[in-house]
Amino acid sequence: MFRIIWSGYGQLPHEARLIRTAVFIDEQGFIGEFDSADHESYHLVLFDDDMPVATGRLHLGRETGGDVFHLGRVAVIKPERGKNIGFLVMNALEDKARELGAKELTLGAQRQAEGFYRKAGYETFGEEYMEESCPHVYMKKNIEK
């Protein structure tokens, strides 16, 4: 049974930190995983029964403001991948963004994850950029209903 727990604004849950460490630092070798946006975001942790298996964050877009929000740090622990859990996280992030007044979401995707985000309805825009020696692209989705 899946359940989602949201943090208060700016509070990074311990479980989210553990998942992001396992995925982005231990598996992928990123160094600067935790940043100032963690203190300006809502974080979710998705649990399978009592086990934390996925996370993501949502914050007001710094450059855009208003009704454009930014999501990121979507991560699913390795044993749980391939079960559509990432889409559960994306849907929850989008629902929360709508609740907060967002009309559009943006994200920075690793090139290797671009297909996942395309399946979730996001489109690529702008130039490719490098983050910690990993190619990324900007993506966006209109979430107005």
Q: Residue 111: which of 92, 130, 137, 78 has the closest Cα?
A: 137
- Asked if the structure places residue 89 within a domain, the reply is yes
State which residues form the domain around 51. 2-103
Q: Is the pTM of this model over 0.75?
A: yes
- Asked if the structure places residue 126 within a domain, the reply is no
- Asked if the structure places residue 116 within a domain, the reply is no
Q: In what order do the strands lie in the sheet with 134-142?
A: 2-6, 42-48, 51-60, 68-76, 104-110, 134-142, 123-131
Q: What is the total count of domains within the chain? A: 1
- Asked if the structure places residue 98 within a domain, the reply is yes
- Asked if the structure places residue 11 within a domain, the reply is yes
Q: What is the pLDDT of residue 88?
A: 97
Look at the block and give the residue holding tokens 């942790």.
45
> In this structure, what CATH number is given to the domain that contains residue 38?
3.40.630.30
Residue-wise pLDDT tens digits, 86-131: 999 999 999 999 998 899 999 999 999 999 999 999 999 999 999 9
